C-alpha cells in the first residue's frame, strides 16, 4: 500500500517510524498511563517536528497534507495513544484557524502550534450537544469590543494541558437565532475554569468545564459571525479519516503482537500459530487492516485533491477502520488467552484504547447518517426525480 504513495511521503513515513521506535516507544514505557500531556511528551513531540503536516508552509508547517496526517497517526497511535491524542488535538484546534483565520490570527497562532510551543484543543461538545451539534447552548453575547461567553463544555480532549483552543458558541441574531460562531480562546483568559477532569477507560487528557463570563476580544472571532457550524464540520471532515488511521495503527500493533505471541506460545505440543483456529484469526485481522488502511488513504488522497466526495470518504474511513480495528484487537486478546486480559499487556491496553475511537469525532451511527446523506445528495444531483 505505502509503496503506492509518492517517494517523499514514503520517506516521511520512514522518519515517523524512526521517531516512534527510537524516541516515543521508550518514552511511553517511562511515562505509562497519563491523563495529561507530561512535559517530556510535549517536548518530545515539539522536537520531532511532527506537527508539520497540520500547517501550511507559510506558517511554520511543512504543508497541509491529509495523507501525512494519517501517516503520523497510524505510526504513533499503536505506540503511545496520549501522543496521538496530542497530535490530533493540535489539528482539531489548528485547522479552523488555517481555514478561517485572518492574516493576523494565522500569523499569531499557527507558527506557535506548528512548533509545538503551544498546545490546542477543540471545544465543541456540551452536556446536551454531543452528536447533535445544533443543540449547543453555550452563548456568546456581543459586548462592544469583545464577546462575553457563558456555558459548559464536556469531553474536551487535551482540555487540561492545552494553552489555547477553538471554542464554538451560539451567537443568535433575529435573522438566524440558531447561528453558531467560532472563537480563538486562550487559557489565561478570565472565565475559563477547568473544574472537572474526566477519567476514561484509557489514558486520555479530557475535561469538562464551566465558562463563566469569559471575555473574548472581538479580534478573536474566527471567520464571520454565524460561520461556526460549517467550520466545525469542515474540521471534522479532515480529522475523521485520521481517526481511522489511528485505529489502523492500533490494530497493526495488535496483529504484530499476536504474530509474535502465537509463534512462541506452545499448547498441545505445537506453537498455537500452527493451528488453523489461530491462522484464520490472523488472516481476518490482516485483511481487515489492509481494507481499513486502503479506505483511510483513499479518503486522505481525495481530501488533498479537494475532491468534493472527501466528506463521504472521510466518514466511510472513520467508520470502517474504527469498527474493524476493534474486531482485530478483540481477536488479538483472544489469541493471547489469559495473558491478553492481564493488566499491562499490550493487547489489553489496546483493547481499552480502541473503544473510544468508535465514539469520538462522530459515533459510528453519525458516520452512517453522513454517508447516507451524502449518497442521497449525490443521487439527487445526478438524477433529480420528476414528480
Ligand atoms: N462541510 C461543509 N458544510 C457542511 C458539512 C461539511 N462537512 N456538513 C454539513 N454542512 C452544512 C450543510 O451543507 C448545511 O448547510 P446549509 O444550511 O447552508 O444547507 C448545514 O451545514 C447544516 O447541515 P445538516 O443539515 O447536515 O446538519 P445537521 O444538524 O443535520 O447535522 C451532523 C449534521 C449530524 C452530521 C452533525 O451534527 C455532526 O457531525 N454531528 C456529530 C458531531 C461530532 O462529531 N461530535 C464529536 C465532536 S468532536 S470530539
Those residues whose C-beta lies under 8 Å from the C-beta of residue 123, and which sit 6 or more positions away, are 153, 156, 159, 165, 166, 167, 168, 185
* Distance from Cα 153 to the centre of ligand 1, integer Å: 19
CATH fold of 2-114, please?
Butyryl-Coa Dehydrogenase, subunit A; domain 1 (1.10.540)
pLDDT digits (tens, 9 = 90+) for 306-321: 999 999 999 999 999 9
CATH architecture, domain 122-225: Beta Barrel (2.40)
Cα–Cα distance measured from residue 34 to residue 205, given in angstroms and rounded to the nearest whole number: 8
Q: Check if 234 has its Cβ closer than 6 Å to any atom of ligand 1.
A: yes
Assign 3-state DSSP to the chain and report helix, strand, coil percentages, each to 5.
Answer: 60, 15, 25
Query: For the chain, which residues make up each domain, given as ranges?
Result: 2-114, 122-225, 230-382
pLDDT digits (tens, 9 = 90+) for 147-174: 999 999 999 999 999 999 999 999 999 9
pLDDT digits (tens, 9 = 90+) for 63-102: 999 999 999 999 999 999 999 999 999 999 999 999 999 9
Pick the catalytic residue from 361, 365, 378, 383: 361
Q: Check if 372 has its Cβ closer than 6 Å to any atom of ligand 1.
A: no
Q: Check if 363 has its Cβ closer than 6 Å to any atom of ligand 1.
A: no
Model's pTM, two decimal places? Answer: 0.95
Which residue lies with its CA nearest to atom 48 of ligand 1?
A: 361
* Distance from Cα 370 to the centre of ligand 1, integer Å: 8
CATH fold of 230-382, please?
Butyryl-CoA Dehydrogenase, subunit A; domain 3 (1.20.140)
Instruction: Determine the Cα angle at 340 with ends 276 and 258, to 5°.
Output: 45
Amino acid at each position: 500500500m505505502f509503496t503506492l504513495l509518492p517517494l517523499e511521503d514514503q520517506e516521511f513515513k520512514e522518519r515517523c517510524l524512526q521517531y516512534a521506535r527510537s524516541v516515543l516507544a521508550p518514552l511511553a514505557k517511562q511515562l505509562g498511563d497519563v491523563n495529561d500531556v507530561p512535559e517530556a511528551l510535549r517536548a518530545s513531540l515539539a522536537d520531532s517536528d511532527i506537527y508539520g503536516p497540520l500547517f501550511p508552509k507559510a506558517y511554520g508547517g511543512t504543508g497541509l497534507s491529509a495523507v501525512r496526517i494519517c501517516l503520523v497517526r497510524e505510526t504513533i497511535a499503536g505506540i503511545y495513544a496520549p501522543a496521538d491524542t496530542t497530535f490530533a488535538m493540535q489539528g482539531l484546534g489548528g485547522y479552523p484557524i488555517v481555514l478561517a483565520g485572518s492574516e493576523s490570527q494565522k500569523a499569531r497562532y499557527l507558527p506557535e502550534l506548528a512548533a509545538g510551543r503551544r498546545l490546542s484543543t477543540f471545544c465543541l461538545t456540551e452536556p446536551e450537544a454531543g452528536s447533535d451539534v445544533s443543540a449547543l447552548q453555550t452563548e456568546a453575547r456581543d459586548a462592544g469590543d469583545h464577546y462575553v461567553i457563558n456555558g459548559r463544555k464536556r469531553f474536551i480532549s487535551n482540555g487540561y494541558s492545552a494553552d489555547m483552543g477553538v471554542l464554538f458558541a451560539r451567537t443568535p441574531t433575529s435573522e438566524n437565532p440558531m447561528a453558531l460562531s467560532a472563537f480563538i480562546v486562550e487559557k489565561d483568559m478570565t472565565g475559563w475554569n477547568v473544574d472537572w477532569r474526566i477519567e476514561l477507560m484509557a489514558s486520555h487528557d479530557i475535561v469538562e468545564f464551566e465558562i463563566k463570563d469569559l471575555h473574548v476580544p472581538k479580534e478573536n472571532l474566527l471567520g464571520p459571525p454565524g460561520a461556526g457550524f460549517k467550520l466545525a464540520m469542515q474540521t471534522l471532515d479532515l480529522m475523521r479519516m485520521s481517526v481511522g488511521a489511528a485505529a489502523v495503527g492500533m490494530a497493526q500493533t495488535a496483529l504484530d503482537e499476536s504474530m509474535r505471541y502465537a509463534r512462541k506460545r506452545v499448547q498441545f505440543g505445537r506453537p498455537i500459530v500452527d493451528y488453523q483456529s489461530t491462522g484464520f484469526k490472523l488472516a481476518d485481522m490482516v485483511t481487515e487492516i489492509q481494507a481499513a488502511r486502503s479506505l483511510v488513504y483513499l479518503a486522505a488522497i481525495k481530501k488533498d485533491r479537494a475532491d468534493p466526495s472527501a466528506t463521504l470518504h472521510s466518514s466511510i474511513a472513520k467508520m470502517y477502520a474504527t469498527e474493524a480495528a476493534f474486531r482485530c484487537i478483540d481477536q488479538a486478546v483472544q489469541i493471547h488467552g489469559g495473558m491478553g486480559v492481564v493488566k499491562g499487556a499490550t493487547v489489553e491496553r489496546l483493547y481499552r484504547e480502541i473503544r473510544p475511537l468508535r465514539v469520538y469525532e462522530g459515533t459510528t451511527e453519525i458516520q452512517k447518517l453522513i454517508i447516507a446523506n451524502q449518497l442521497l445528495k449525490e443521487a439527487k444531483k445526478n438524477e433529480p426525480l420528476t414528480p
